[in-house]
Structure 1
Amino acid sequence: MHTTIYFIRHADSHFVLGKERERPLSEEGVLAAGKLVSSLQNVHFDAVFSSPYKRAIQTLDGLVDPVDIILEEDLRERTLKGPYKLTAEEIDLAIKQSFENVDYCLDGGESVRQVQYRALPVIFGILENQNYNTVAIGTHGNIMTSIINYFDDTIGYSFWKSTKKPDIHKLVFNSFHLISIKKITF
């Protein structure tokens, strides 16, 4: 049985330190999310899952009734570090290192492997459920890349760096085997 999962990376949201869960989409993010959702209107989703973070949920607005979105705490974004500041270059380097060594993480952060252990039971549950042929997941760049990396270890830093806000990646599975990945343009 084939299962198709649309990983939908959230639209633009202004970063606010310590406000990961409640950060809303920016005005441009709301507009971009609307275009994304319009591009998927002809796709029938058997279920829609999401990170519990506001920006991921808002990006799905209009795809389904919000009460039908299944919030999964284990699909939250990867914690990159503790509550201290780093430059953008230091964060970028740490992300690159984490995909080269999936056990690497900054102090107070999660490694790629830790994120996979957290999120993959949700993905496996989707793949096992015979009622789910086509599913959407509202997600974030780092956790999406970490999940896909489990199924294809060539997916890592370069893939993450190439993603946009918002973005859609359509993955097709045969049971637990990844068959294809396609970036959907809109």
Structure 2
Amino acid sequence: MSKTVVYLIRHAEAEGNFIRRFHGITDSNVTEKGKLQAQKLAERLKNVHFDVIYSSPLKRAFYTASKIAEGRNINIIVRDDLIEINGGDWEDRCWDELPLLYPTEYEMWEKMPHKHCMPNGESMYELFLRAKSAFENIVKSNVGKRICIVTHGTLIRALLTYIKGYEFERLNEILWQDNTAINIIEYKNGKYHLVVEGDWSHLGKELSTIAYQDWWQQFLKERGIKKQDLTIIERRESYE
């Protein structure tokens, strides 16, 4: 069987990322920094051939996919099942408010996210099942091709447990990824191989979103991860 290659990409920075409000299905615009991130991503991928490009319907994902698609003569296929988690009552709430308004749910989100359910929204496991089904359908429909999928951070984090062969209970071992981060997955003989995970080296520190945010430093500290440990194993010469 020929090899299938998937580029699984997080969208560029949107307003919710910048102002730190929970935007799951909230359809916020890409920021000016996000537009620069998307341009850097497009430049990084300009020599990568894609047979097909998929996107979440939300503006932040579709804009990012559109920048990748420029000059390629490829129509972007929008799939509703690639949308971010439905945050229910958390939608458009300030992140700082959430532990005060929803202390039990927020603690679950932080410590045992695999058990978390958004109040009047979607559970993490429901998101996982939706993401897995969408991913499998896309891959099986494009065997032997090079696929680009632009979607969202929480969805990617959940999906990577499946791609890595983890039990979903290990979700908290998957790191959050910066905007426009790239994951590269090979599929052959019925098995997935994660070649690149969470690579945002095309941004540099000046265009990073999370490098300047306190929650990211706290997230790493709680897991005993130092910056020098965040090395990215990649085989760029094989793909670009």
Letter aligned with residue 174 of structure 1: K
Question: Which segment is superposed worse, 62-71 or 88-97?
Answer: 88-97
Residue 182 of structure 2: aligned partner: 168
Give deviations 1:104-136, integer Å, cap 9, x for gaps. Answer: 313223222211222222211222125552111
* 1:96 has 2:103 as partner: no
By how many angstroms is 1:147 displaced?
1.3
Letter aligned with residue 172 of structure 2: Y
Residue 207 of structure 2: aligned partner: none
Letter aligned with residue 38 of structure 1: E
Q: Distance in 2 between matches of 1:4 and 1:138?
A: 14
1:35-184 paired onto structure 2 within 5 Å? 35-65=40-70, 68-83=75-90, 85=93, 87-88=95-96, 90=99, 93-99=107-113, 102-152=114-164, 153=166, 156-161=171-176, 163-183=177-197, 184=199
Q: Cα RMSD (Å) of the superposition?
A: 2.8
TM-score, normalised relative to structure 2: 0.66
Residue 31 of structure 2: aligned partner: 26
The structure with the largest alpha-carbon Rg is 2
By how many angstroms is 1:72 displaced?
0.4
Give deviations 1:125-168, integer Å, cap 9, x for gaps. Answer: 2221255521111111001111121232276335343x101211
Q: Distance in 2 between matches of 1:94 and 1:2?
A: 39
Q: Distance in 2 between matches of 1:95 and 1:125?
A: 28
Q: Distance in 2 between matches of 1:19 and 1:142?
A: 9
Identity %: 23
Give deviations 1:4-40, integer Å, cap 9, x for gaps. Answer: 1111111111126779453111001001110001100
Q: Distance in 2 between matches of 1:37 and 1:79?
A: 28
* 1:5 has 2:6 as partner: yes
Whether the 8 Å contact between 2:54 and 2:65 is mirrored in structure 1 is no
Give deviations 1:61-96, integer Å, cap 9, x for gaps. Answer: 332159711000000001234257464473864433
Q: Distance in 2 between matches of 1:97 and 1:61?
A: 36
Q: Distance in 2 between matches of 1:37 and 1:146?
A: 25
Q: Distance in 2 between matches of 1:38 and 1:7?
A: 16
Q: Distance in 1 between matches of 2:155 and 2:133?
A: 13
Whether the 8 Å contact between 1:49 and 1:136 is mirrored in structure 2 is yes
Letter aligned with residue 174 of structure 2: F
Alignment gaps of 5+ in structure 2: 100-104, 203-240
Letter aligned with residue 8 of structure 2: F
Question: Which segment is superposed worse, 7-16 or 170-179?
Answer: 170-179
Letter aligned with residue 173 of structure 1: Y
Letter aligned with residue 12 of structure 1: E
Q: Distance in 1 between matches of 2:11 and 2:108?
A: 22
What secondary structure sits across from 2:120 in the alignment? coil
